[in-house]
Amino acid sequence: MQNPIQKRVIPRPKSAPFGPRSAFPSRHDTARRRERSTIWGHLRAILERPRSAPFRPRLGLPAGAVLALLILPPVHADTLAGKVVRILDGDTVEVLDARKQTYRIRLSAVDAPESKQPFGAKAKRALSALVAGETVSVEWRKIDRYDRRVGVLILDGTDVNLALVRAGFAWWYRAYAGEQSARDRQLYEAAEQAARREGLGLWSDPRPIAPWDWRAGGAPAKPSVGACPCDSGRTCTGPRGGIYCLRGSGTKQYFKRE
């Protein structure tokens, strides 16, 4: 049986993804197109690893499993399709369907930096460069208290939510991991670990503040002095304000906020 991973093709940016074509594209459109091409090129570079240096997530997944970012698992969800007409922030968009009805979409399982946070503006620009003006489908499972459909944004077969995490433009939102399949939880965690290890995007900051901590008005959580047994010295913020200590062995230990 042929390996399905080998059959996938990472989508390339379209030549004119932003509205009707013009013989004389504006400087703004040209800049957006260039930025979109740069982001997609970056995603291709980190997703398509040479065989001599495959990506091996520290979660017991097989080598090259990160390429499964582009395989969408079978799920039971409602689906809508339309054009992305507005980018509100790094994890929220508006989609206009064929009936001219607008839906506000909150990307599920991810949390991008807030607009006033460091890297918040870049996260918004990244999402805009990827999907603004594009026809997408949304697999959503619930409507939140702000009347937003919460789901996965899909462009040309690509899980955009997951791609943003892998490129360092958003955190994996662990507080809602229970709404994901076990397979998705593994993929999203592996994607975040890889982005962090490579210092991509928001992870270029050695101690980025998680959006949920920022909204609560707090700083990154710290373990008690002398309590952290890490031999790697690496940590990541947890959803309840605590901190995960990532050991060199690949295991992790959770500490509550002081």
Give this prediction's pTM: 0.64
Domain ranges of the chain: 4-204, 221-255
CATH topology of domain 4-204: OB fold (Dihydrolipoamide Acetyltransferase, E2P) (2.40.50)
pLDDT of res. 93: 98
By the 8 A CB rule, do 171 and 200 touch? no
pLDDT digits (tens, 9 = 90+) for 151-203: 999 999 889 999 999 999 999 999 999 999 999 999 999 999 999 999 999 99
The overall average pLDDT reported for the chain is 74
DSSP line for 33-92:
HHHHHHHHHHHHHHHS--TTS----TTSPPTTGGGGGGPPPP---EEEEEEEEEEEETTE
pLDDT digits (tens, 9 = 90+) for 4-45: 333 334 444 444 343 444 445 566 666 666 666 666 665 655
Q: Which residues are catalytic?
A: 106, 114, 148
Q: Which has the minimum average pLDDT: 56-60, 75-79, 89-93, 112-116?
A: 56-60
